[in-house]
Structure 1
């Protein structure tokens, strides 16, 4: 019997490769006439091919694991198959109440059309080595040097003290690790987290860019200093993406990082980690100013059906099966981060990956990038801004001004900024 083949394309990540392998095997066991081939690309390549080159309209792929940042642009170009009819006639297990509202919003258009089911979740959390923080010798040494107790940092000023304290290159240990690779992913999200956690915003209520402000300058300067003058990061941090930093942390080379909470799961997998049982998670630090707040970033990855797929019905069946309780749990067990409430509350998952006990709480105070089709272009400008500042190609002030001007042009051209709201801004 000749099998029908479904083609799935995803971002490169060992957790996705492992979970999709098991989920494809499960699907083939239920549908012996089907097989699921899987392709994994670096994140920039994935965007370029599927969105910029509009491969969503080709017959090359039947399933596309897509990050929510890209959905408004894809929805505008009608590049994804609406799932409402499928969901009404043949819904996944416990749909829609089996997911938190934050896991259903970003793939739903303003008219209620749904374009995907959440597969892998953020949000970002603060990860730290509990064994280091609880060590009596470390506590005594820190208090003697800084004059206050060693504790998980609540503010960015405390974070910097702790990062400096734990930076010991001769022991291959650094205070923190960040993903400086300019892929428009964590380098942008790190800036947004620093902006939001100090009380800033990317745009104001009239859609005018508002990040070139005192708070925005403080946020970008702090981030740049971590890479350039504070000496608390590994030397190759500028070449690392989020996945590389997750591996680096799991190998025990950093005391702290803020990153996607799924990397706390990686730190608990023996074949990937040297610090099993030593990682804890909490809220991300905030600024020291009165407007500061603990904030996290909410984006997530959704399984979608490209418009060009010739096997749309079968592709939906894969999405439905993969969204089940058992398959979502497998996503978490393989190092990803399941998206169902059942997974977040599963005693076995919480025992293996304790950070799951905090996910619902963190989701109560999250922010997301601008939900507009133009955001990917804005994201690239922010990525360039951060990368230019980190690598000294532009001053902090000049990088912010250039990004502000370019983003304003995009928002004006697209009609978000009304002419009356611009007066006095320039």
Structure 2
């Protein structure tokens, strides 16, 4: 391998391709080192780098890894700890320049840090502000439902508004989901609905809890959006988060919950038909007394693959990419920077107003289980959601079967009360 060349692998996403292009050009001018970039579909990325342990093979120096995969990758020795490098040559402003929610998930059980946050979620409520502000729409909605048209506080209000804006003959639907079974948004959507209704994934003694009442309500709600209420186009069953984000940007959807980065996509000139019309807010809460506004905290970290032969220069790229200037570039290219300075930057906020809400959203977030077995559990949940969404199994049957599988995974791994 050319000693003046680094190899990076990332998830496929236009925002990542654009931001890494800017950052690679900056790094080459600074050091003379080129950064070759490869972008892979998310499932395939996990299969190659973690399941197939390609991160240890020497084929790549840098691995953009989502936090869900980190416990397994760390346990398998696929990533290098950065503690010594961070101590000797820290990035600009380390660690105070990042919110605490951007520092915890890449810390292993051994206390070592295995990557720096590169791209943040979180999931947010994203909607067409022009539709919600239209006086005629407001008048019609109030007549029909008896309360003002505004950002829905609860999931029942979300359904009302979705019904109101669903006009298939006009090419308009009230809502959109990313329901493709890639173990990504279809699972995260279920977790958000579960948590927002006061439910839990597991009990305190490591038994499945997601099949109980809150989980039943959550999964049934997701199924009903498409099949009962018909406020989400059926095509959403084959949309991942990226495709749904682009679909929303074409103007035929009134609202969705999705990663904040897709509010950025909807503001990108030339890519969106609704630039300047997009707003964000808190994801609705469950209607019962346990209901809470909740979002999901996962993020992508830039890590050094254990097989890298260019570890020093790989760290230098991570360090440079984590600078205030390059983190801001991530945001301006359509990703989500992770530094507080980026979240508070006036130029970023002017182009992408949702940054005003990021710190607020991060005050009430949960993350998937930080255990090596979580990817296997995630696959079970993905199959469960897809079976229910495609009507292959009734909601309760899908939940019960998945709960049994999760209990078996945890029992085999030795988890107990």
> 1:6 — aligned with what?
6
TM-score by length of 2: 0.98
Do the aligned residues in 2 keep the contact of 1:194 with 1:219 (CA within 8 Å)? Answer: yes
> 1:29 — aligned with what?
29
Give, in angstroms, the shift of residue 89 of structure 1: 0.5
> 2:17 — aligned with what?
17
> 1:276 — aligned with what?
275
> 1:41 — aligned with what?
40
Number of aligned positions between the proteins: 416
Cα shift readout 1:68-92 (whole Å, capped 9, x = no counterpart): 0000000111110000011000111
> 1:422 — aligned with what?
none
Cα shift readout 1:212-259 (whole Å, capped 9, x = no counterpart): 111110111001111212111122100000001111111112100101
Aligned residue runs from structure 1 range 16-415, under 5 A: 16-32=16-32, 34-415=33-414
Do the aligned residues in 2 keep the contact of 1:350 with 1:357 (CA within 8 Å)? Answer: yes
Say which SS state the counterpart of residue 81 (structure 2) adopts: coil
TM-score by length of 1: 0.96
Indicate the larger mover: 68-77 or 142-151: 142-151
For 1:149 and 1:357, the matched residues in 2 are separated by 24
Do the aligned residues in 2 keep the contact of 1:23 with 1:327 (CA within 8 Å)? Answer: yes
For 1:237 and 1:207, the matched residues in 2 are separated by 33
Give, in angstroms, the shift of residue 331 of structure 1: 0.3
After TM superposition, what 4+ stretches of structure 1 lie above 4 angstroms from structure 2?
Answer: none
Do the aligned residues in 2 keep the contact of 1:61 with 1:309 (CA within 8 Å)? Answer: yes
Say which SS state the counterpart of residue 195 (structure 1) adopts: helix
CA RMSD of aligned residues (A): 0.9
Give, in angstroms, the shift of residue 381 of structure 1: 0.1
Say which SS state the counterpart of residue 292 (structure 1) adopts: coil
Do the aligned residues in 2 keep the contact of 1:3 with 1:35 (CA within 8 Å)? Answer: no
Give, in angstroms, the shift of residue 3 of structure 1: 6.6
For 2:115 and 2:270, the matched residues in 1 are separated by 32
Give, in angstroms, the shift of residue 412 of structure 1: 1.2
Say which SS state the counterpart of residue 234 (structure 2) adopts: coil
For 2:84 and 2:47, the matched residues in 1 are separated by 29
For 2:113 and 2:319, the matched residues in 1 are separated by 14
Do the aligned residues in 2 keep the contact of 1:92 with 1:320 (CA within 8 Å)? Answer: yes
Say which SS state the counterpart of residue 301 (structure 1) adopts: strand
Give, in angstroms, the shift of residue 110 of structure 1: 2.8
For 2:233 and 2:222, the matched residues in 1 are separated by 14
Do the aligned residues in 1 keep the contact of 2:3 with 2:310 (CA within 8 Å)? Answer: no
> 1:423 — aligned with what?
none
For 1:5 and 1:11, the matched residues in 2 are separated by 20
For 1:9 and 1:363, the matched residues in 2 are separated by 28
For 1:235 and 1:208, the matched residues in 2 are separated by 34
